[in-house]
Amino acid sequence: MLTINAEGGEVKLSDRKEKILACVVEGYIASGEPIGSKSICEELSVSSATVRNEMSELCELGYLEKRHTSSGRIPSAKGYRYYVDNLITPNPLSDEECIRIENEITKDATSPEQVIKNASNVLAELTGCATVFTTPEDKNAQIQKVELIPASKRTAILVLLTSSGILKNCVCRIDIEIDENLKDSFKDIVDKYFIGSSVTEMTPELLERIIESLGSENYAITPLLSALYSLSKDASQSKTVVESQTNLLAYRNETDNMLELLDFLRSREQSSQLVAYQSTSKSDMLSILIGSENYFSEMSNSSMILARYAFGNREVGTLGIIGPTRIDYSKLIPNVKYLTELVGRVITDKFEDNET
């Protein structure tokens, strides 16, 4: 029996169909082999004829598929979706695992970006999937600190820190010697035009006005100001990073477009759009996209689990995983949720004091 809503959309399977669907999904996730009626009969204490009939109906409804000559069935993307939305029993991390993970992501965490990077590495190890994350984005962040660190007579490291804890740096070379007078002149200009300003206020027009206002004695520091503008712009923009793609090779026998998928994930231009096109639930900031629910055709045999992380009370980025549709949703969904919540807590605790 299938409950139908007033518009004719499918709402809820019968209890027995739900139990059979759950058995097929969980059995297939665990074994990678099609699930036959015999194993379900033993688990549910239902006759084989009943199970076969129910499985046939689930196939007709699009929740199960028969791709092999055996009598077993595997879940379709629609079956996985129903399972995730209605039947899943979360399998959260243990207290010991949580402690270990927190220690890992706080290791050498000198910036929010490093915390996210550490979390991505841990998530790849935990899940055996590729990871995807965006660097923190805060359009309201202010330039809090700028340092000019001489590396040689005419070369310096330029460091920018924002109120959100975003740290950017670059190496810059100028045509005159970097002495105390130059450092003082640069500091005066930075204090006047940059410190306390929003990163989004740094526009080409403003940079041009600043450079035009320089006297001839200060014109030589133009490359430093141009580099500082570039760092400000970089700090205002989020970047999408995909890592640990080689983890997906463990599933190469489960998808017929593995090479196409890996090429897509390796392309910085294409993968940069990966998160932007995905709709994230506003209720719990978690998004689970299965098969063709993904925007890109290269992801049609894959699943992606994404969650938003926060800095204070502001959502500033996304962290998640990419794997085959046959992943352990009951385990990996809690993993992603925990890691993103932990990332938000860590970057808030470690870097919120930087806010002005």
Does the structure show a pLDDT above 90 at 317?
no
Structure-token pair, residue 288: 């689970």
* pLDDT attached to residue 333: 95
Strands (E), the chain: 2-4, 10-13, 64-65, 74-75, 130-134, 143-150, 155-162, 167-173, 240-243, 286-290, 302-311, 314-324
**Is the confidence at residue 135, as pLDDT, over 50?**
yes
Yes or no: domain 2-87 corresponds to CATH 3.30.2350.10: no
What secondary structure letter does DSSP report for 198?
A: B
Q: Which CATH class is domain 95-137+238-354?
A: alpha beta
> Three-class SS of residue 351?
helix
Residue 290 reports pLDDT greater than 60: yes
Over residues 170-210, the pLDDT tens digits come to: 999 988 888 998 899 899 989 998 999 888 888 888 888 88
- Among 109-113, 185-189, 303-307, the range with the most confident prediction by mean pLDDT is 303-307
Mind listing the pLDDT tens digit for each residue in 225-273? 999 999 988 888 888 899 999 999 998 877 778 889 999 998 877 777 7
How far does Cα 137 stand from its chain's mean position?
A: 13
Give the residue among 283, 332, 308, 281 at the shortest CA–CA distance from 92: 332
Average pLDDT over residues 331-340: 95
268 vs 27, residue with greater confidence: 27
Compute the mean pLDDT over every residue in the chain, rounded to the nearest whole number. Answer: 86
The reported pTM is 0.81
Q: What pLDDT, on the 0 to 100 scale, is given for residue 242? A: 93
What does the pLDDT read at residue 70? 65
Residue 147 confidence (pLDDT) above 60: yes
pLDDT at res. 257? 85
Q: Where are the domains of the chain?
A: 2-87, 95-137+238-354, 143-236
265 close to 242: Cβ distance less than 8 angstroms: yes
Q: Tell me if the domain spanning 143-236 has CATH number 3.30.390.60.
A: yes
Same fold, 2-87 and 95-137+238-354: no
